[in-house]
Structure 1
Amino acid sequence: MKKILILMIEVGSGHKTPALAVKDAIEKIAPHQFQIEVVDFAKESGAIRVDRFLKNSWNLALAHPAVTKVINYAIDVFYPITSSRNLLRILFGDFVRKGIEYIRKFQPDVVYSTHFFCGTIAAIAKEKYLLSYEIIITMTDPFVGHRMWIDNHFNSILAANQIAADYLIKNGMRKEKIQIIPLPIQANFFREIGPSDEIKERFGLDKNKLTLLFSAGGQGIGKNWEYIQSIYRKALPVNIIAVCGKNQDLFQSLYALQKQKNSNTTLRIFGYVDFMNMLLSIADVFVTKAGPASVIESLICGCPIIFTHWVGYNEKGNLDYCLNQEVGWFAPDTKTFLILVEKILEQEDLLNRYRKNIEKLKTTTVLKQISDGSHLTAQYVISRLQSFSNNSKEFRERVRYE
């Protein structure tokens, strides 16, 4: 049985959920035909300190986006010194050693990855042990990435659209290695969920009020507390759905706020959820940072976005795109945010216009095939596996001869 190794690093959900979506799609296309493993790579390879550092660093980045922007800018300015390969060897040698040993023992027939570090380690392992698998990467940033995605040792890198493909080419990725395939999104975002009013009633929401959904990703680190507090204190007539992710401090703070008497604002609080598709489908506006998964999932569900901030210049690309298409707004502070919410409450046509813009966007190449992203990625991985496997014996014999 052929082996497909899917590598990611669980920093937030932006690398994990596409990996799981592709696994599900492969199993649906070819049930029981492949051994498929989805691996949180640093952790499962045994590079525990590196795993802890990467995840803690991401939490720090979310809490201090200004620092992250400086680091992100430096990585691009000093490239190729700051390439993924160089950073791994200089800073995360233990991950490289344990990662390539993990791959050597696993003996994959193809490696698919949603994280640049994982893809680069797969390339190093392939060179070191003269292995004959193909390396396929999805750049999970839908519009603008960063230069750590650039590595021409990959066999293929999948870009979500022509904008992302042009970014990769401009920054040094060879054109023949780039395939345009929509981002893999979990299938539940394309399923019918039932009448919105019924779901609102189930959650104790007022169907006649504007519904704001707040989330700062799986970690729950961001500006949600101050923004929700500002609405609650002003007693605006809205529903608030607050998804706190893994942030227990935020959950407890909001729970205490909810106990304060307020007849106008309805507040419902959740921790980590696996039904964001349902919440996005009943929300009128999504309030979040400019993360790639948040942006694409919100647009799929037809929900305009209020961006509170961005972390890294790749996320600024998401923000800029949505502002240019008039499917989202930017409210970097509570004052701007409250003015915007009051404007949306007063001008019904404003929200309708942004919803219509999202529907128009769904007819363009950016979102037109997004529902097929997981299926098309899975098909591509299977096709390359079969093609590469046919040539693997010839490859090994040629390497021995040389």
Structure 2
Amino acid sequence: MKRSSIVIAGGGSTYTPEIILMLLDNLDRFPISQIKLYDNDYERQKIVADACEIIIREQAPDIKFLATTDPEEGFTDIDFVMAHIRVGKYEMRDFDEKIPLRNGLVGQETCGPGGIAYGFRSITGVMELVEYMEKYSPNAWMLNYSNPAAIVAEAIRKVKPDSRVLNICDMPIDIEERMAYIAGLNSRKEMDVRYYGLNHFGWWCDIRDKEGNDLMPVIKEYVLEHGYNLESIGKEPRLNDPDWLKTYRFASELYKTDPSVLPSTYLKYYLYPDHAVEESDPDYTRVDLIREGREKRVFEECRRIKECETAKDTTLEIGVHASFIVDLARAIAFNTHERMLLIVENKGAVENLPLTAMVEIPCIVGSNGPEPMVIGEIPWFQKGLIEQQHAVEKLVVEAYFEHSYQKLWQALILSKTMKDADLAKTVLDQLIEANKDFWPELT
């Protein structure tokens, strides 16, 4: 069985150790010859890399390991780029969340003004990685799960429509795992789903077990009362923080807007923006919670592993949400025709949406990439919401490449999270000042 060479771009991420643990746990299905970490922040990556080197040495000493800040070294002789970068790191996420909130708007890293700001930064970083891959390993595939995925995917489609980039997201994976537990199954892999929308903006319209039995009624009944929160059946993962538990519970309200389907949790920011603002503190947002929680915990454990020179008894865990990355890479490497949700150009799969929309739908994945499944027509409610958000994403990407202040202002005005055009202009000017070291100059 062919062994693959991988570079994880964004090697200093707190998610990198759990991705590596997932890869090591699946070597029988997806053999690996080499793992590289690439990041432009040497100090941050070194904390993670020192621990990962020890983990790999103890669990799979035959795998070559390298951590680098040199693009040529990182991207030469690789089969897969697993990309999860955060341009501007948490320092810029502070602005993404807090500037909108201080103006009475949704402050979320992938939705509304914050998501637009983050997207403007991410386009530069992700396009740079695509250039490196195409220059040094032109036959490689990039599995991109850098946020905000919808904006990044549209930028890649516009500039490099034939690139070997697959845009993916773990949010549906997490919710499908919850749906499986609700339905009494052991794993999401025991289900076949039909889903449509944009990234962080979609609905499940059909869920069945492998025998073809309809699971929607039992899942809907549960969601109406509990949302996707699993505390009532004792299945809630122990590391979920109170913010996420509230978000899962709120899915019961989202469900009521259309009981014929099951919603993505992120829709709360678009359908109930005032609620999202009311439950937020503009002086203490998700980024503060992550800094004090996940980042502190992971970095401390990485430092402990390096100090002890062993990863035995580590508290680092396999990232279950990262399992889709292995499945996707394996589908490409071994032509498995895995059925997966991907962000792909519509091209008629959703009949009544624009052909060039980057939609998130089920695809069959093999060595030639994804083959989107036909969804057909979708209802007016979802069509209207999707087309509005799709227009926002198109305007953001056009504004980036045209350096257009006007189009970025229009994108903010059009977002369902925005209140009026004057406020959109005020927020845009504040975001421009905060992002002056990252955004192209707008005119």
TM range (shorter): 0.3 to 0.5
TM-score, structure 1 length as denominator? 0.33
TM-score, structure 2 length as denominator? 0.31
